[in-house]
Every structure is written in structure tokens, then in C-alpha cells.
Amino acid sequence: MHLYHLSLQPPSNIVCAVHGSFAGISKQQEVVVARGSILQLLVCDSRSGKINVKCSHDVFGIIRSLAAFKLTGGSKDYIVVGSDSGRFVILEYIPNKNCFERVHQETYGKTGCRRIVPGQYLATDPKGRAVLIGAVERQKLVYIMNRDSEANLTISSPLEAHRNFSVCYDVIGMDVGFENPTFACLEVEYEEVDQDPTGEAARNVEQCLTFYELDLGLNHVVRKYSEPLPERGNHLIPVPGGNDGPSGVIVCCQNVIVYKNLGEQQDIRVPLPRRRNDIEYEDTPLLVIASAAHKTKSIYFFLIQLENGDLFKVTLDTEGDIVTDMHLKYFDTVPPANAMCILKTGFLFVAAEFGNHQLYQIARLGTDDAEPDFSSRSTKAGLYNVRDLMNLVMVDTMDSLDPLIQTQVADWANEDAPQIYAICGRGGRSTLRVLRNGLEIAEMAVSELPGNPVAVWTVRRTVDDQYHSYIIVSFANATLVLAIQDSIEEVPDSGFLGTAPTIGCGLIGDDSLLQVYPGGLRHIKSDRRINEWKTPARRYIVNCAINRRQVVIALSGGVIVYFELDLTNQLREFSDHHAFESDILCMSISEIPEGELRSRFLTVGLADNTVRVISLDPTDCLQRLGVQSVQGDPSSLLIIETPDDTGAAPVLHMNIGLSNGCLIRTTIDQVTGDLADTRTRYLGTKPVSLYKVTVEGKDAVIATSSRSWVLYNYQNRFHLTPLSYMPLESAAPFVSPQCAEGIVAVGKSTLRILAFEKLGAVFNQTTHRLKFTPRKFVSLFGTDNLIVVEADHAAFTEKAKADRKAALVEGAEAAVQAARHDVNQQYNAQELRELYRNLDNDESQHGLPKNRNGTWASSIRLINATRGNTLCHYELPEGEAAMCVELVQFRSQPDSVFVLVGCASNLQLVPHHNPQAGCVYTFLVSKAVQGFEFIHRTVLDSPVYSIHAFKGVALIGVGRMLRLYDFGKKRLLMKCENKSLSSSLIPEDMEHLF
């Protein structure tokens, strides 16, 4: 038995990302990302600036690392995956199949994320000759890549590069041209640390930069060189070599980056600059967390990112192969990233550590701005002013809930479908998100109509037209024709009969239009000549089905009349009519297959609760091929053709909408017409109507009921998703120069032009900003208001922020007084004073300023979950970390609702130790549930991590103790305490809790 789980939504965080030409298309690069167990190929559209998920595959494992490499002279990149499988896996993306194919799979160790099993680190030789896969501790394996006689990728047996008693921090492949492949590694050897019980060796242990060389002639790996580092490093950046650059490596250490290389090269050190217009302390350590490199034939540069999100452009000055100087320049500020990718098309993809992932267009390279330049000639850290985006332009985002802290499912918005309310994010980018099951819709235009329309169609003038020419809107007793140009305007001489409702219309032949109305057919030629066919006496048309060469109409009384376009572009009526015993409720005809003259299948829905497949082949015209009974009256039919990406014949799917709100999808055998593989889904309380639209170049279905749905094929699987939009009454595809793939729809008395966004997504999100990292929330009884507690370590409260600003202004005032005799210094001091006085950075863009270690900032917020507005906000004193919240109705105060917030006082994380103090804040919720009032603060001897309402009292976890508290005027009153959960002192009414 094989067990696996599939979540409602795949993981949204991105662990690692690499870019390359995986499809093998010249001048096009894609991004491959790992989302937990999901491997995805992302394509950035250079015209629209949108990120599209081209391929998604679940590996049913944990992806730990990714790398891309290209063989010398090759046209496409391969993907190397390090996972918890204990295997070295190389994948190739196959564009025509739209999938990843396994090229090689080599087993080398045990499964699981173990510290001595390789998979945590991957490094590739820039020439594609070798790949190193490493573990956190001791083990490293090197595989040699090559080609066979048929140009297929080959792989050697693994070569060991193990080092006992060593911990690896990072590893990269150096660019050494066509010399022996070399890998650089940050290592710490701990053999002496293990043998020192005092801990002195651990405090003084050195970190080394080690170079491993793969000797291709002798076929083994040697430890070529090792050098201790004065500062601890955490990140390595390879520098282009060979004919493109000086080679070497940039070591990112705490507060400094260092360029190193073998030979006569001297170390080039540049201190990391600090924000000038910020309130952070000067001794706050700075670390590089991510980097990206960009290389062309003429230039190369690097972007590095600090913990606060600031990007710096790094360039090197060289003389021959010797680096003489290294320059840093502030570039922009983006969310802290797990990985960054610079594409040749000028995009920067940021896979954010927390929150949404973002795609930026690089508008400038930062060479012509007034930002200060920091180089190795300076021994002190420089200063710069953080600002809004100037070199980057954000063009698209990908939603991410990481980290998801708490969720609750409820229908507080009264939408008849529950929403998911989630708190997620970290710091100034924290959010409260409302998730609705549905596809996001972009509303492009809305126009009022002179009445309530019944249906809408779009038609082209000729078969070769790229865009639609007319929008036809049918009312109960009239038809309105609109021309699609720079603006949408009514056309009085289109040839359509405007005094009657339209039952169906479309392009017929190569350049003619057809209108079906209750009294007959109207065939409108390209030269404006009109041929009409009138219905027999006392009969009228109730339904129709049209494709480019065939027309089938249903007359009142259950009679079908069939027309077909002949070679002279005339509609010819078949003499044989077919009559049913029941009334015809709906009809549909499939499109004409490529290379054929007609479609073979017509489907008819009858009032006797059956759907019948009718042949339109001349040999057995209007003969029944198949029948299916349904559980209600069929209200709509639609046949769509689903192409197969593997090259097999397309599949015909018949979609049946029922009057009871159900949608049935069944497959039509293209040879016999038999029906099979029937699937049913309930859509709403109203009869289902079906309309054909286009999604990513394939046929899709809009289903309207009490709620609108879309059925489309995306990444080789069907998606049936509700639309997060008002209920629609009719829809049709819409293509214009301004909208490459949209829909035109009618709802109530309006005409709407819409477009789908974020295909494949299960939920669409509404985001409300928070200030600190949310810890927990509770909902107020019977309302859509939430109490959210937020807390951040090493953050400033508003009071602490004001005090820090005042101290900075006071220091600047002292500098002004001290520089009375130096005009330049006095001007600089005055400028700094004004800067501190007007300091007001956007914390959602630039992050929270970092306070001292051990400080906390917390707040309690009353927020409306549907509108997102804050009704009441209370900030706790500095040093108190809010951990939990609960609503309690005390038995001594039955008419009041209290909010209890549990806190830990002076909690220190690094090094971690449990504080010996905590407290509980008590607030009274107002009668109108629009605010809360502070009542008192109860000091406790241990931190509070959990509170629960229990039979009119509060059950509070205080450290390792469990206590019952009742309401008191000045503080909470302890009623009972249990120090050991296994103790027999637990009251009888609390035994069921344990």
C-alpha cells in the first residue's frame, strides 16, 4: 500500500531557485524553483512582465538544493537536484512534452535529511565538466560530466572528497576556464573541539576557506589549499574566470566582504556600509544572505543582499588577472531572499524568504546616480541613505503564505462560501490574509447597457482575423451589435436583425456571418448581401448549434433541421428532418476536425432527462449514436476538444449543465460516439449554462449558476475553479490588441471585459498589513472582528523609537556645536540633524529597524477581518513578548467579555534561556465590539505561552505549571495550581484535559 497526501494548495515558499536555458531556446532563460516537494519551471514573459508556471511536478520528497549546468558547446541547461532520497539526480526539461525527464539517477547514501548524507550543497563547474554534492558534515562527492558518441550526457562514478571532523558552511564551483575544475568551500574543523570539555576550543575555532581540485588526468580530488579566515564567513560568490574575468571567489563575512584568489593576488576587503537614515545601532552585525551574478560579453557585476533587504552592486577593477579594487554601491531594497536570479532579459527574480516572491525589471544599472561608492581603499564602513525603488521596477508578484502561523475557516463576509483567514509573514511585511476559493479576475472594462441582456457572443469578420470584430448582445426582444475598435461603439448597419432576440450567431465559412433568431436564419455575406430562411408556419426556433460549416436548429415541437455549407458558400437544408418525442432543451455541436469537411457529432438535451449523441455523417445522418440519462433536465450542452500534449489524438469532452445546478463531464468516443468516464460536480442552486472560451490557447468552459465557474486544462490536468467575481449570465471569448486572451460577459445590466489571472491557483487573496510578526488571533463572538497579538524580537516600540530618534538628534546637535569652527563639518552635522528629525522610513518596504538583542516590541490589535481597518491598537512596553491571546467570560462577570494576553518578560533568544518572569494583560471588550479597554496587568513568575477559557475561569500555562485564574479588580486571582501533570491533585472537572 502506498500512501501520500495532497494539500489544498501546494507549498508557496521557495527554498531555492536557479536560472538557465532549460528549454534550449536561444536568448530565453527560465527559472526552476523548489517549493518543498514541488519542482516548477517559471517563464517570465518579456512583453507582459508576468510570471507563468510552465511546468510543475511533485517529486514526493524534500528538495534540499538545486543547481544548473551546461556542457561546453551545449544549447540547454540540465538541472541537478539534491534531495532527501540519497540520490544524485539530473533532470532535463522536454518542451514538447512539457515535463522533466530523468537523465541520470545515482544512489550514494541513506535517505533523509542527515548531516553526513550529501544533498545539502550543490556546486557545478562553470564549464559543465563536474558537479560536487556535499553534506553539512564530512562527506563530499564529485561526479564528472561528459558526452558519449551520440552527444548524450554521461556521468562517472563518484569521487570522494571527504574530510573528517569538518562542518561545511557553503561550497561553490570556481570559474578557472579549462583548467582542472576547482571548488571552494567554507569549513570548520572540530576535532579539537570534541576533545575539549572546557569549551575554550569551540570559542577559538577557526574557519577556513578550502580549495578542492579535480584532477581530470589522474581522476581524483585533492585538497589543494586551505587558508584560515579572520572573520566568520557564511556565503561564497564565484567570480568569472578564463577570458571573462580574473577568477577567484568573494567571501561574504560578518560586516565585510573579501575577494580571494590563488597565486599573487592580495586580499581585497570592503567593509559593508550601513544605513544613514535609520535608527539602528552602529554595532549591529551585517551579513550577506543572498547574491546574484550577471555576465555578458563586455561586463559582469554582482548583486548582494544584506539581512535588511538592501541590495548592493559589486564590481571589480582589474589589471590583467589581478584585482586591484572592489566597489560597492547601494542599488535598491527588496524583501530578504532565499535566492535571486538575474535573467538576460533584464529581469530580477527574488524568491523571498518570507512573504510574496517578486519579479523586477532592471531599469537602470546604478551607474549614473548620486549614490556614494564604497571601495577597498576605505577602512571604515560607509553610510548611505535607504530610499524607494529607483533602479528596479516591480512588474509581478507570486503569492506566498510563508510563514503561515495560524488559520481559521469562517464565513464572516457572508458570501455563502467560507473563507480562510490566515496570519502570516514576519516583521514589517506581516499580513492578515483572507483566502477565497476561486480564480482571480482582472476587470478591464465595465459598460452599462440599456436593459438586462440575455446572452453575448463575439465574432470575427473573416477566418484569418486575429482579433474579434463584433460583440453581439441579445435582449429579450432586441439585439445590439457593438464594433470592437479603439473604443466599443454600436454599429447600425451590421446586417443583424436588431428587432428580434438572437438565439445564436457566429462566423460561417471564410467571411460570412450567421444570425439565428426565433423566426429564422440570417446569412450575412461579406458583400452585405443577406440570405434568409424562414421557419414554417406556427413554428419557431428554440435552440441552435453552429460551427464554421454546419448549422442545426431545433424547432418548437422537438423537430431538428440540419443545414450545411456547400462549395458555393450557400447554406443547404437537408430534406430529412428528425423529430423527438420530447421537447429539445439544449444543443451543441463539436468543431470541425483539421482536414475534415464536417463535424460528426451533435448532442441534444431533451426534456425526458436524456442527452443523445446524433450523427451528422451523410451515411447515417441524424441517427442516434449514444444516449445518457441524467438526474434532471439538461439546461446547457457544450462539446470541447482537449488536445493531448504527448501528440496523441485530441479527446472530445461533452459538458452537460443541469437545471438542478450540477455539471456533468463525459467523454465521447470519436469512432463510435459512445459516452464514458462520467464525472459530476455540484455548482450552485440555479440551472447551469455553459459557454466556450479560450485559456492559454485551449478550449475552456465558463459555467454559470448561482456562482460562476471555469473549467480549463492547465499543465496536463483539468481545473474546475469558481470565479472570484459577481455571478455572470453569459460569456464569450474576447481577443483585441489590448487583451490577448480575455472574456466578455454580461451580468445584470452591464457588459464586462475580464481576464483570468494566476491560472492554476486554488485561492485568491486579500491582504491587510500588520506591524509586527503576528503570533495568534481570536475572533470576537458573532462579529467579523479579530484580536491579533503581534511581537518581534530586537524591534523598537513606538516609545523606544522616539527615544532613539531623540538621542540621535541630540548627538547631531552636539556635533553641530562641536564643529562651530569648521564650516564643512558643521554643514554635514546640520544635514544629519535634519535627517534624524524627519526620519520616517516605510517599514513594509525597508523592514523593521533592528534593536538590541533581548528587546521585544509587542502590540494587541483589533482589526476588522473583511474590511482590514484597525479599530483599536494597544502597544505593550518594551521587553514584553506577547505569545498568546484568549477571550474569556468570567463567571464573576457574566455580562462582560475579556481579552487575556499572555507574555514573556525579557525573553532572550541568542543565547536562549527561559526567563523567570511573565505577565497576563487583561482588557475589557466594549459593548459595541469596536474597541477594548485596559483593565490590569498580572505579574507572574514564569512566561505564559498558552491561555484557555475553562468553565468561567482562565486556564493558564505558566512555565511548567498549570493554573486556574478568576477575575479580580486589581489582578487575576489564582484559584488552583498543578505543578505536575501526573499529580493526583488535578481537580475532577479538569481530568479530561489530560
SS (H, E, C) 355-383: CCEEEEEECCCCCCCCCCEEECCCCCCCE
Mean pLDDT of 121-128: 94
Answer whether residue 248 shows pLDDT above 90.
yes
Q: What would the pLDDT profile of 939-976 be if each residue is shown by its tens digit?
A: 999 999 999 999 999 999 998 899 999 999 999 999 99
Average pLDDT, the chain: 90
Mean pLDDT of 365-389: 87
Say how far apart CA 119 and CA 136 lie, in whole Å.
9
Structure confidence at residue 526 as a pLDDT band (50, 70, 90):
confident
Structure confidence at residue 622 as a pLDDT band (50, 70, 90):
confident
Query: 753, exposed or middle or buried, with CB in 10 Å at 0-12, 13-18, 19+?
Result: buried
Q: pTM of whole model > 0.85?
A: yes
* Whether 902 contacts 923, CB under 8 Å: no
* Whether 138 contacts 163, CB under 8 Å: yes
Say how far apart CA 124 and CA 130 lie, in whole Å.
6
pLDDT of residue 568: 84
Say how far apart CA 118 and CA 97 lie, in whole Å.
31
Q: At what angle do helices 798-818 and 823-837 cross, to 10 degrees?
A: 170
* Whether 374 contacts 329, CB under 8 Å: yes
Mean pLDDT of 124-144: 95
Answer whether residue 55 shows pLDDT above 80.
yes
What secondary structure letter does DSSP report for 152? -
Query: 675, exposed or middle or buried, with CB in 10 Å at 0-12, 13-18, 19+?
Result: buried
Say how far apart CA 352 and CA 472 lie, in whole Å.
46
Q: Considering all CA atoms of the chain, what is the largest pairwise distance in Å, rounded to the nearest integer?
A: 109
The continuous run of DSSP H or E covering 837 comes out as helix 823-837
Reported as half-sphere exposure (CB side, CA atoms, 13 A), residue 75 has a value of 7
The residues, ordered by sequence, that sit 6+ positions from 478 with a Cβ below 8 Å of its Cβ are 451, 498, 499, 500, 501
Q: Residues of the chain with pLDDT > 70: what percent?
A: 97
pLDDT of residue 645: 58
Give the closest residue to 276 by CA, choosing from 841, 806, 851, 848.
841
Total residue length of the chain: 994
Answer whether residue 815 shows pLDDT above 90.
no
Cis? peptide before 911, omega within 30° of 0: yes
Q: What would the pLDDT profile of 209-246 be if each residue is shown by its tens digit?
A: 999 999 998 899 999 999 999 999 999 999 999 888 99
Q: Residues of the chain with pLDDT > 90: what percent?
A: 64
pLDDT of residue 819: 73
- Distances in whole angstroms, Cα of residue 589 to Cα of each of 572, 637, 864: 17, 9, 50
Say how far apart CA 143 and CA 128 lie, in whole Å.
11
> Within 10 A of 889 (CB to CB), how many other CB atoms are there?
15
Reported as half-sphere exposure (CB side, CA atoms, 13 A), residue 57 has a value of 17
* Whether 39 contacts 32, CB under 8 Å: yes
The partner residues of 634 in beta bridges, in order of sequence, read 658
The partner residues of 905 in beta bridges, in order of sequence, read 880
Mean pLDDT of 405-413: 93
Give the CA radius of gyration of the chain: 35
Answer whether residue 633 shows pLDDT above 90.
yes
Out of 644-653, 697-706, 821-830, give the one with best mean pLDDT.
697-706
Say how far apart CA 730 and CA 107 lie, in whole Å.
56
Answer whether residue 984 shows pLDDT above 60.
no
Answer whether residue 823 shows pLDDT above 80.
no
Structure confidence at residue 990 as a pLDDT band (50, 70, 90):
very low
Answer whether residue 151 shows pLDDT above 90.
no
Say how far apart CA 279 and CA 32 lie, in whole Å.
38
* Whether 512 contacts 531, CB under 8 Å: no
* Whether 330 contacts 274, CB under 8 Å: no
Give the closest residue to 70 by CA, choosing from 112, 116, 14, 23.
23
Say how far apart CA 520 and CA 988 lie, in whole Å.
83
Say how far apart CA 278 and CA 309 lie, in whole Å.
14
